Structure formats: C-alpha cells, structure tokens
Amino acid sequence: MITEQRVYFTIQSNHLSPEQITRHLGITPTRAEAKESRRGGRSGRPIPPRHEWIMDSGLSETASLDDQVEAVLSRLDGACERIGELTSLGSAAGLVVFRSFEPGPASTRLGLLLSEETIGFLHIAGAHIWIDEYGYDEEQPGDGDITSLGSL
C-alpha cells in the first residue's frame, strides 16, 4: 500500500537565490530555501548545498501521480522557456516524483504516464525527472528499515 506520494518541480542554483529565480519566472514557489540556510541534524554541516525553489502540486498525497504532475505543470504554465533560460545558465531543474510503500495490496493506482505535453515541457525547460520510491522490506517486518526500490 502506498503510504505517501507527492510530485513537485524544483529549480536549484549555486548562484541565483530563490528570490532571483522567482523574479525571473514571475511565479511564486510554494516553498524555497536559501543555500546553507540551516544545519543538518546529524552532521551539523550547512544545508542545503544549493538554493532551492520548489513548486508543489497543491493536491493531497492520495491524488494520483498523473493528477499531481498535471497540477504542478499547470502552476508553471507559461514559464517553460524562462526555466530553460535558467538551466542553460547552470541551474538544475527537475520534476520529482516520490512514493513510499508498506506491505499489502495497493490502494492507489500504480504507475505514471507522462504525456507528450509533459515530456515537451521538460525538454524545453532543460529539466530531468527523478522518480524516487521506497518500500518496507517484507522479509524483516516490524524493524522499520526502509529499503530503496530505486531511483530511475
């Protein structure tokens, strides 16, 4: 069963602050974080390593991945070329798909279909897609360890 799933679009930069990215795009992110603005809990090192500008889907974690992708891209409507300008200058942009599972029957439709429009948007924007899925190891129930099912 899926315990959590979310989709968001991120722009990361070593040199452009979240405010500068917002001005360039003309779109306010749902969240942002300045480079090295806080310290890691375990290491105490400054994180994040780059400025981060993030647009969430705005939908619940129970919404399908397809619906969440569509919602994110609709929030970025008209900004595709401006994102491409940022990536051509060294920023990284990507559509992030995250899911975690627990043992049991799937309660949500599995899989993801990226439309031609979505692929075209990512291409023009110079963006990648990162799919990150995690599940509990069924061979050792109850130990709470999460095993990565892989990043594609």
For 59-84, the pLDDT digits (tens) are 998 888 889 999 999 999 999 999 99
Look at residue 143 and tell me whether its pLDDT is greater than 90.
no
2: which residues sit within 8 A by CB, 6+ positions away?
99, 100, 101, 106, 107, 108, 110
With CA atoms as reference, report the closest residue to 35 among 51, 13, 46, 23.
51
Widest distance between CA atoms in the chain: 50
- The pLDDT > 90 percentage for the chain reads 51
Bigger pLDDT: 100 or 47? 47
* Distance separating alpha carbons of residues 16 and 21, to the nearest angstrom: 6
Give the residue-averaged pLDDT of 100-114: 63
pTM, to two decimals: 0.73
Confidence of residue 2 (pLDDT cuts 50, 70, 90): low
* Distance separating alpha carbons of residues 16 and 25, to the nearest angstrom: 12
Please list the residues that pair with 92 across neighbouring strands.
Answer: 12
- Crossing angle, helix 65-75 and helix 116-125, to 10 degrees? 50
Two structure tokens written together for 4:
């959590």
